[in-house]
Amino acid sequence: MKGEQDLNPKDPGSPDLPTPVPADKYLSMVLLVDDQVMICEAVRRMLANQPDMDFHYCTDPMDALTVAERVKPTVILQDLVMPGIDGMELVRHYRRVSATHSVPVIVLSAKDDPAIKSEAFQAGANDYLVKLPDRVELIARIRYHTRAYLDHVQRDEAYRALRESQRQLMRVNLELERLTRIDGLTGLGNRRYFDEYLGAEWKRGLRTQTAVSVLMIDVDHFKRYNDAYGHLAGDDVLKRVSQVLQTSASRSTDLAARYGGEEFVIVLTDVTPAGAQHVAERLVRGVRELDIPHGDGRVSVSVGVATIMPQETVTPDDLVKAADLALFRAKAEGRDRIVLHEGDEPLAGVSS
């Protein structure tokens, strides 16, 4: 590129001896932006034979940002008086561009003027030297700013890596939490999640005085089905029944869960007994429509339904036991049916 040079600072012909390099050396990528080739050559000679420094210069200020993006400097040496664009404005450009916004900028000026220094620092410069500076001082400042910049970059990278690690850990924890609540076979909530959810909705119902319903569901004669068709076929039945449960309890506040074995449960919130019965009817009808052969008939389910307005004297266990008692009656009365817990049946007695 015109006006830009990449030079290896090692110069066998240079009379200058290398400046001692710190033990914890950092490689300095130095970019000098100055339209005077003589200045560029003078700085090149100052940095010659420094094994920890790569020197590049650009004599066309309009190319400075492009060169900086390619070179990726750790320090920019910026002249202030340049044709076509003010060096101070170029410093401001560095701070606005993502590739250079945090790269240290050392301003080189022919004037030791406090007002110019102040403006340079306000524009975003990190340091200010009157050119041509002392060789030892220039090398020391380049190394200082390189070290500070690379440490900053490493901290940023470490922070980003830490944040990504935290995000990954959070995703893993969320997945583990999900797995602890999900039944592996059916994808429904498991017994633990059902207990937690019912307890939380019971407390909410106490506060808002809204009813909670529990539907206890049992796959009729499931042991016989397993014995006749095998456990793999039995698992498939449980999966298909669970899909019907999910479509039957379709509100975001409804929960369908596997209670254990061939038993399932649905929690409905803010619902009337008639509404709970409607869900149960949809469920029973949906399982019938699966039309899964079972002996002389087809796979069916029995459902016990209980709806209670939460009270301090009644517990969630009482609600579950009431629904379970209704399920027992449904099975005793011939299965493939729904039985509702009667409102006049004493709940407190259920828990005794």
Residues classed as catalytic: 262
Structure tokens at 66: 């492009």
Task: Identify the DSSP state of 147.
Answer: H
Query: How many Å apart are CA 243 and CA 245, to the nearest integer?
Result: 5
Widest CA span in the chain: 108
229 touches 221 (CB < 8 A): no
Beta bridge pairs of residue 26: none
Question: How many C-alpha atoms does 312 have within 13 Å on its Cβ side?
Answer: 0
Rounding to the nearest 10 degrees, give the CA dihedral for residues 154, 160, 163, 164. -120
